[in-house]
A = this chain, B = another copy of it.
Amino acid sequence: MFDPVEKLKEYIRHASISTDPSAREGMRGAREFVSGLLGGLGFAVEAVPTALHPVIWAQRGGDPSWPHVVIYGHYDVQPADPLNLWQTPPFEPTIRGNRLYGRGAADNKGPLLANIAAVAQLLEKDPRLPLRITFLIEGEEEMGSPSFPAFLEKYQDKLREADFVFLSDTALPNEQQVVITCGLRGLTLFDLHVIGAKGDLHSGLHGGVMRNPIQALAEICATLHTPDGRVNVPGFYDDVREVEPWERAELAKLGGDAAAYAKFLGIEAFHTPPGYTPFEAIRFQPTLEFNGIGGGYQGEGTKTVIPSRAFAKISCRLVPNQQPARIKELVIAAIRARAPQDVKLEFVDQHQGDPYIVVPPGRPNTPPDQSPVLARAFRAADAAVTEVWGRPPLYLREGGSVPIIADIKRVTGLDSVMFGLFLPEDNLHAPNESFNLDVMRKGSETIAKILAAVAAGRR
């Protein structure tokens, strides 16, 4: 008997922080743990090497006439800092109420285990299930999947044989309402460094003759938004695809209580681009955010220096059809044009990912050549969710990014069915991340029904 909760506790103990070179042991442990699970279910498991963290490739073959689903997940997690804000240590899984707390519980260890548990249940019931399944579980998602595009290119011929991709790495708005995600924001990230004098200077002996790099950085960053909440970079919005009326209508069905959302975030007021509710802004609009800033003395008390340099970590969330490389160029060009001439600038490139959109069957803008297996998966999801959760799913774009979904589409032609399982209160990427165990159980049951329905038809 496969107990997903016990497995999840074991899985979380492996501190698989992909960006932290000192967490190699946790990465290896998490990888071997998942490989062992899938091997136990009869999958042929391989750890396919990449430039950094191997991809787990687990295969259940079968007759070429059987439908073929690729299930995607990732075994790496975000860093856990600031550690002092965790109620219990991030890598010591703890159950409080119906929640399991730990780094990676919701992103993506719990949702991946819900998928594996569904497959385990199906194969237990019918070991001859006419469905080919390929698990692809990568270890670099939280770094922006730098090795995954090359991996896709290398194995594109094998992957093109599949019919569609299924994954649970997106969100539910609340415990009652399932969402099938039909779009994801892309992103592009870089660091901006502003450099003044060649060393830190005493602010008394030298203060008043030069522009402080922190001042220059603040002056640059302050130009990047308009007062009404848009990104103030020429050309930034040029390629933004207008949202379809059915998408706005679908989101309206979700309702959403703006006051409750503001309270949940703990903010004084929303600040959205004109013409968009907070819920629309997240899904349909791009952003420019400062993820970090630093420079000079940050300790207790005072140190009266003029620092030599200061930096900001900048990211843009992008919507279809913005191009990450183009947007990065535009933002950097705006910064160069606006920066004072008396400081030097350096840019450090970080990762990027395309936005993605898939249209479910039967919509005004559904592509006429949509894969019949993909369409069956969407319809099966509709029926299974209605049965298990008591109401049909909503088909919405998401604010988050899973950049490899667009990469998969570009390289292999495969579209994705994104069946979300984490909740806003799960605290992804933040202290006290947790996963709702009721959602895990119902999710697993639903996924088993979807895969059974996909298996019940031919290609």
Residue from B143, B206, B278 within 8 A of A399 (CB atoms) = B206
In the complex, are the beta carbons of A209 and B270 less than 8 A apart?
yes
Interface residues of A in 312-335 (CB under 8 A from B): 312-313, 315, 317
Q: Is A65 among interface residues, defined by CB-CB distance under 8 A?
A: no
Q: Give bound CA distance, A283 to B33, whole Å.
A: 66
Residues of B with C-beta under 8 A to A300 = 19
Q: Decide if B292 touches A199 in the complex (CB within 8 Å).
A: no
Q: Which residues of B contact A431 (CB under 8 A)?
A: 199-200
- Residue A285 CB within 8 A of the other chain: yes
Q: Is the CB of A209 within 8 A of B271?
A: yes
> A310 CA to B218 CA in the complex, in Å?
12
User: Is A285 touching B199 in the complex (CB atoms < 8 A)?
Assistant: no
Chain B proximity mask over A368-412: 1 for CB below 8 Å, otherwise 0:
000000000000000000000000000000111100000000000
Alpha-carbon separation in the docked complex, A204 to B430 (Å): 13
Determine, out of A93-101, A112-120, A158-166, A342-350, the stretch whose residues face the partner at the interface.
A342-350
What residues of chain B lie closer than 8 Å to A292, measured between beta carbons? 214, 295-298, 303, 305, 307
**Most-contacted residue by chain B among A171, A214, A261 (CB, 10 A):** A214
A199 touches B287 (CB 8 A): no
Do A281 and B430 have beta carbons less than 8 Å apart?
Answer: no
A302/B189 contact (C-beta < 8 A), A214-B293, A218-B221, A295-B292 known:
yes
For chain A, give the interface size range: 35 or more
- Asked if B430 and A202 sit within 8 Å, CB to CB, the answer is yes
Choose among B271, B305, B398 the residue that contacts A291 (Cβ–Cβ < 8 A). Answer: B305
- Assess the B79–A290 pair: CB atoms within 8 A: no
Stretch at the interface among A2-10, A237-245, A421-429: A421-429
A310-B293, A427-B199 in contact; A215/B221 too (CB < 8 A)? yes
Chain B CB within 10 Å, residue with most, of A206, A212, A344 = A206
Tell me the nearest residue of chain B to A296, going by C-beta: B292
Question: In the complex, what residue of chain B is closest to A231 when comparing beta carbons?
Answer: B208
Within 8 A of B (CB), among A172-217: 185, 187, 189, 196-212, 214-215, 217
Query: Is B282 touching A205 in the complex (CB atoms < 8 A)?
Result: yes
Report the bound CA distance from A201 to B433 in whole Å. 11
**Neighbouring B residues of A269 by C-beta, 8 Å:** 210, 341-342
User: Residue A274 at the B interface, CB < 8 A?
Assistant: no
A144 in contact (CB, < 8 A)? yes
Given the known interface contacts A203-B317, A205-B424, A317-B204, the answer about A299 and B210 at a Cβ–Cβ threshold of 8 Å is no
Contact B267 A289 (CB under 8 A): no
Sample (30) of A-B pairs whose CB atoms are under 8 Å apart: A19-B301, A79-B299, A185-B204, A187-B304, A198-B265, A203-B291, A204-B400, A207-B282, A208-B287, A208-B317, A209-B261, A209-B272, A211-B229, A211-B271, A215-B222, A215-B289, A218-B222, A271-B342, A289-B304, A289-B306, A290-B296, A291-B303, A293-B293, A293-B294, A293-B295, A294-B294, A294-B298, A302-B313, A304-B315, A304-B401
Contacts A143-B301, A187-B304, A200-B429 known; 13 new A-B pairs at CB < 8 A: A19-B301, A78-B303, A199-B266, A204-B398, A204-B401, A208-B278, A208-B287, A214-B290, A217-B293, A218-B221, A218-B222, A291-B303, A302-B351
Closest 4 CB pairs of A and B: A198-B266, A204-B400, A292-B296, A222-B222
